[in-house]
Amino acid sequence: MLNFNEKIIFNKLFIDVTKFLLLISLSLSLIIWVVQAVNFLDYISEDGHGLKTYFSITLLNFPKIFTRILPFSIFIAIFYILNKYEVKNELIIYWNIGIKKIKFINNLIIFSILLLFFQLFFKTFLVPNSLDLSRDYIRNSNIDFFPNLIKEKKFIDSVKNLTIFVESKNRNGELKNIYLKDQLNNKKSQIIYAKKGKFLFRDNSNFLILNDGSFIDIANQKITSFAFKKTEIDLSKYLTKTTTFPKVQEVQTNHLINCLYNLYLNKNFRSSSSFLHCSKESQDDIKEEIFKRIVKPFFIPALVLIASLIILFNKDHFNYSKIQYMLFFIGFFILVISEISARYITYNTTQIIFLVLPVIIFLVSYLYLLFKLRTKL
């Protein structure tokens, strides 16, 4: 149980850390988000998606950026606040009124476990859902992206298996001298030419109405053609090149785990298109993604503990600055290890090592803490 003084001190500590953590994590995430948002302009300039789709995609990618930056922000927040307390002589006051260093760090560890569960929730649930919703926005926007896609006197190949050329387009959306090439498969393609055309939105789908033109079918090195006065093409079957199957990062965590279970333990399981990415060829990507979502957050308590070791030394220590740099370097090194370890989780020889690495780092750091505290008694 905490006494009155301890409650006040620890409440102040958690509030200070949380404020600085939010400040640095949101600031860094916002900077990265703005940079990435500029890259997403391709959805407007090349794929013809509207502004609503653009802003939806960029906003839905923010949770992914936030979770990537969070472990680093946690380490920096703990490290900065404890150094700030030391410089302002707050820590020495805490020790003098009876606060135990081990209890102080244990409360920070409890705080880190709360952050761990927060990160797990984001990584395993919120981020995949937000990315999947972002992909849905792209899919759904295909019902109206064609009118925005067309540029005068420019070949457009952003649509999968389709090339479009329009000589002119007026304010009413009327098109003149339209050329389309539809690559139906490796051996068959279709070329359509029309003097006039116009987009028509009907039944939640876009149609291209063409007048005074001709079809040219090319199949097995044979060419056939016929003219038409008027025809319409359903554009709902066409997707932009960016609109493909969901990436592994967008698949629900329980689906990924179920996929690995079936691939390794279910001998009767057969890969199918109904389960995206679930195949022997993609199992390494699935392993890496599961590691990022479930194992990487467990580095957070280790990072908090490393940052907390600074309280074992005071600012009057002759090597205090060197100790600060050393602890910061160790924390940064652990962050780098947590990032690159996901790539090596696919190797059978290193799987167990990287799975238990966060626990090993935490236990070694905690044992060092106990040793230092005991030698100072």
pLDDT tens digits in sequence order for the chain, 377 residues long: 667 778 888 999 999 999 999 999 999 999 999 888 777 665 555 555 566 667 778 888 899 999 999 999 999 999 999 999 999 999 999 998 888 999 999 999 999 999 999 999 999 999 998 888 887 776 665 545 566 666 777 777 766 677 788 888 877 778 888 888 877 666 777 888 888 888 777 776 777 788 888 888 877 777 777 888 888 877 766 655 555 556 788 888 888 888 877 777 665 655 544 445 677 777 778 888 888 899 899 999 999 999 999 999 888 877 888 999 999 999 999 999 988 887 777 666 667 787 888 999 999 999 999 998 887 65
**Residue 360 burial by CB count (10 A; 0-12/13-18/19+): exposed, middle or buried?**
exposed
CA distances from 178 to 169, 208, 282, 306 (A): 10, 11, 41, 65
* Angle, alpha carbons 232-236-241 (nearest 5°): 120
- 163: three-class secondary structure by DSSP: strand
Phi/psi at 247 (5° precision): -75, 165
DSSP for residue 294: I
Residue 293 CB neighbour total at 10 angstroms: 23
